[in-house]
Amino acid sequence: MTVAIFDTAPPLETDACRRASWLRWLPSALFAVAAIARQATTWLDCDVSWLLTVGERVLDGQRLYTDIIETNPPASVLLYLPGIALARATGTTPELMTAGLVFLLGIAAILGSARLLSRAGMLPGRSHPFVVAAAAACFLLLPGYCFAQREHIALLLVLPIMAVCALRMEGHSVRPTIAIFAGIAAGLTMAIKPHFALAIGPMILLATRPYRSVAAWCRVETVAAALVVLIYGAVVLTCFPHFGADMMPMLRAAYLPSRAALPRLLATGWFILTAASLLLALTIAPRRATRTALGLPLLASAGFAAAALVQGKGYINHGYPALALALFGLALAFADGRRNVPGRKIGVFLSIVFFGVSCRMLLETPDYSQLVALVRKAGPPHPRMLTVGGDLAVSFPVVRWVGGNWVERQHSLWITANAPAIHPTDPAKRAELARYVALDERMFVADVTTGRPDIVLIQGDEGLRWIASHPAVAAVLSHYRHVDRIGDVIVWAA
């Protein structure tokens, strides 16, 4: 017997209801339009801006992990190549094309997943528009400054496998083509970051629980996902050998050990809101959250939260998928026809508060206008640029806004910036870290010498002290003049 995700009574089939049915889809359209308007009036964040720059240089023939250094595996760069290539073919910007492709992906994932569930009778008529509206709010509007981030794209790719798992839980058959597509999307999600298996694995486990069979793990979608991961691994080994040979030792020494303490991670805004939303959803609908497909977004949220904690950085983009799925699951917990649930009004109020606070946290964007104006005034039309400091956001997206050319092989002095927070007890590891810090300086000096930047962005007084304390750096920058300071960013020009 099939059990719908929502216990919603079917609407009365009156002429008035049919004439007004389009109104139920109005919130979905409004959320989508608001998301488009938000992205049209702002920009993609620093991480996406940097990865677009990396992608452009790769398409121009530079070698990843040799000519240009990126701390993430190749999938983080490959993900943005289609948008860059299409932008070059159409004469638009990579930012515009990338945002457009992600919007299309989001709309397709939301509507396609909802249609699958609706056809199986798991989304009764009254619930369907509400679920789509909640998805549009959480997956298109809420991302804000994290829009088109790898985590945002990964979340959208998770939606098809979530829908397939929901159908499996309720005993529905799934067409092989749909299962393969969902499996490929899940495999791509884990290729983006292996940590995301923590979100996908529990959903598959929950979907196979009713069958009590190991064979249920070998369904078409699971095999497809595994094949994608294996193929991606082979591509990395054969096409990007320098990632394993050169970058992994560097990351183990100078990146992975630099992480926030667990209490600090648990005190971040995204984690508190995620935990509160999950707890409220379990309080409102405990039976459906543990026995029906409603548990899938809640499980995936917990998995994404675990993945963010494993990464240990505490960045808001790492926490976005967990927060978005928790809020979406919370919305689904209220999507039933019963109005006499104890505490329902308080729960609805808290849900609105949680969503509002989340929007405030994610939709806020830094103001680069003064820095952009200063760089344009101090440098030539297309200035060559680099940065002194460990913060990627000092230079990106500013360098792309001014039409600049990035002449540094890295996005920042991230090794130098991370080193003070790493305290290896093993003398060999201390020596290894020192070698990489020295390499950071040598690469910077070489980039200044060969790239001849017109503009140097310096990360505050700490950046000035670093220059002064390294004679080779001070010598190569000796002919630059101080222009001005905007906040914590100091601008030097040739």
Tokens of 129: 């528009």
Distance CA 322, CA 281 (A): 14
**Looking at residue 119, what is its pLDDT?**
82
Looking at the DSSP bridge assignments, the partners of residue 245 are none
Supply the DSSP string of 80-147, one letter for each residue. THHHHHHHHHHT--HHHHHHHHHHHHHHHHHHHHHHHHHHTTSS-TTHHHHHHHHHHIIIIITTGGGT
* Degrees, nearest 5: CA angle 76-78-83: 110
Distance CA 163, CA 102 (A): 19
**Looking at residue 287, what is its pLDDT?**
74
253-289 burial code (b ≥16 CB/10 A, e <16): bbbebbbbeeeebeebbbbebbbbbbebbbebbeebb
Closest C-alpha to 122, from 7, 4, 289, 8: 4
Query: Would you kindly state where each structural domain of the chain is located, as residue ranges?
Result: 15-363, 369-493
Structural contact between residues 84 and 94, judged by C-beta atoms closer than 8 angstroms: yes
Structural contact between residues 334 and 351, judged by C-beta atoms closer than 8 angstroms: yes
**Looking at residue 347, what is its pLDDT?**
84
Low-confidence ranges of the chain (pLDDT < 50): 1-13, 337
- pTM of this prediction? 0.93
CA dihedral 323→171→185→26, nearest 10 degrees, is -60
Residue with tokens 């459906």: 288
SS3 call for 314: coil
